[in-house]
Chain A
């Protein structure tokens, strides 16, 4: 029954359309539309710019850099001029701005890509189990000479530096996170922009600008007073790094606490909850994901510090897992010494290989930290699901 009805309807519709055949109207030019470049135009302009760029670069002696620069300039100029002519001045300006924005992005990407490529290229050959799990203890110039002359594998590794980096950064974090977070809590929840709060904000800003070597000297001087002038150990370096970390932690925590809506604090007060419990149970949990990623970024900033480590923890070739005694190495100082004072002055290649491998290791550690921060942020983030 229903199918018959549908058929009938179809027939009627077909008849209806056949009864009034509509001749296609002559297409009127849309008064709203303007000239429009086809999609492939941009690609064509780019290809032309590359050719012209190559040509003009050859005139002045070909090089990759001048080729890229000439092509880019020709492309931006030609692209925006052609768009202006065809589509009008507003679209032309839009095209110019778009090309400049993309260009700036590519420009910013070049150093990053270049660093990653170089470190991977030079560091990967040095990465192996021996490098990862052995220290430089007992590795002498003679061994390096032998490996170059006889082709035996490069011995010696960065295990001691990895241990040192992790321990010193861990202790620096343990010191700076409580200090920095409590400072931020004071600034946001208690200071109320009073004179003390403004003074703290000012000095935190000043601390942000302290050169890292000065932080190192401060820690050295502090422990020289406490323990005698030759105190060099991991904890001194951790104190130096925490001087650099604290302002970053304060700043990021402060920003995160500020964006916690006041309504949540009031809701908590209205339930008869004390202020400190409101802060620890409502405000900080709401902001914890941002705080966690701020702390991780602060760690990433100090993990690559070299100068303050050199003057506080000295340098070790052996594994030292005790931050409260004896000298320690970290990856940056390990790299520095491998480059400046190669283990074998006559055959420096093994040292340079170790330095690049350590650099790769450091980058991987920072990347893992950043990924960890994202993971923490998404784990702690206020739940949104239904």
Chain B
């Protein structure tokens, strides 16, 4: 249950401003791919184009192709809703629905779409998803309590549980640990390692150690200066990027000489 993503000649715009230029990348199925780079280099923007969340922002549009196992997401006639149910997303700040209980948050993808689900199916889906997000043992006694009562790290794992409950092919994570403490971060990183046995995971992170710890492949994005578009500089196995990068800028960045 996972698909690969291939991006061809992708340009990303905010109205007329070219934010990310000419990206070509192939993201392997059942692997963890990390995007690293300085702030404002367009890695989050690029990530959001992979499940058509970019166009939610007024003026957001793209040129080029994003292929999910060969199917172009941006072909006319493709419903963004279908795309997003196949490619889930976890955001920087944990954002459980405040009006819903923990259980309803996990079931949100099913219930909000108005699908009928029997109580036993719902219960097993909740348990499976929460176990998948390593949260079951912590919340199994208070499934009917509001999700906003959990700690930040638990909320983020709840958001991951909510995402895997809709059984996507790919999970995109936009700096999922940047609002969390080190212990919660560790929990999420362990979880990412488990998730890759079932899903294709793409993670944006500012934390290079995190990229080195969790990812199989790493893409380095950079920007020539403010107002210039961000570009994909180098994309290789994580070990190569961190030990023997072929581009000088990558080496400078991963060794901490800038950024």
Which A residues contact B (CB, under 8 angstroms)? 192, 261, 263-274, 277-278, 281-282, 285-286, 382-386
Whose C-beta in chain B lies nearest to the C-beta of A285? B99
Whose C-beta in chain B lies nearest to the C-beta of A281? B112
- Find B85's partner among A271, A285, A286, A382 (CB 8 Å cutoff): A271
User: DSSP class of B's interface residues: helix, strand, loop or mixed?
Assistant: mixed
Contact B81 A270 (CB under 8 A): no
In the complex the two chains form, what is the Cα distance from A285 to B108 in whole Å?
Answer: 14
Contact A385 B146 (CB under 8 A): yes
Contact B159 A267 (CB under 8 A): yes
- Smallest beta-carbon distance B180→chain A, Å: 16
- State whether the Cβ of B98 lies closer than 8 Å to any Cβ in chain A: yes
Contact B99 A270 (CB under 8 A): no
CB within 8 Å for A269 and B53 given contacts A192-B58, A263-B91, A286-B99? yes
CB within 8 Å for A273 and B113 given contacts A266-B53, A266-B56? yes
Contact B88 A286 (CB under 8 A): no
Contact A270 B112 (CB under 8 A): no
- State whether the Cβ of B97 lies closer than 8 Å to any Cβ in chain A: yes
Whose C-beta in chain B lies nearest to the C-beta of A193? B58
- State whether the Cβ of B89 lies closer than 8 Å to any Cβ in chain A: yes
Q: Please, how many residues of chain B have a CB less than 8 angstroms from a CB on the other chain?
A: 33
- Smallest beta-carbon distance A345→chain B, Å: 59
- Find B82's partner among A268, A272, A383, A385 (CB 8 Å cutoff): A272
- State whether the Cβ of B145 lies closer than 8 Å to any Cβ in chain A: yes
- Find B88's partner among A264, A271, A386 (CB 8 Å cutoff): A271
Instruction: Convert B111-139 into 0s and 1s, putting 1 for each residue whose CB lies closer than 8 angstroms to a CB of A.
Output: 11110000000000000000000000000
- Find B84's partner among A265, A270, A277, A285 (CB 8 Å cutoff): A270
Contact B108 A271 (CB under 8 A): yes
Whose C-beta in chain B lies nearest to the C-beta of A265? B56
In the complex the two chains form, what is the Cα distance from A286 to B108 in whole Å?
Answer: 14
The 8 tightest CB contacts between A and B, nearest first, are A272-B85, A382-B98, A383-B146, A386-B149, A270-B89, A271-B109, A263-B95, A272-B84
Whose C-beta in chain B lies nearest to the C-beta of A267? B95
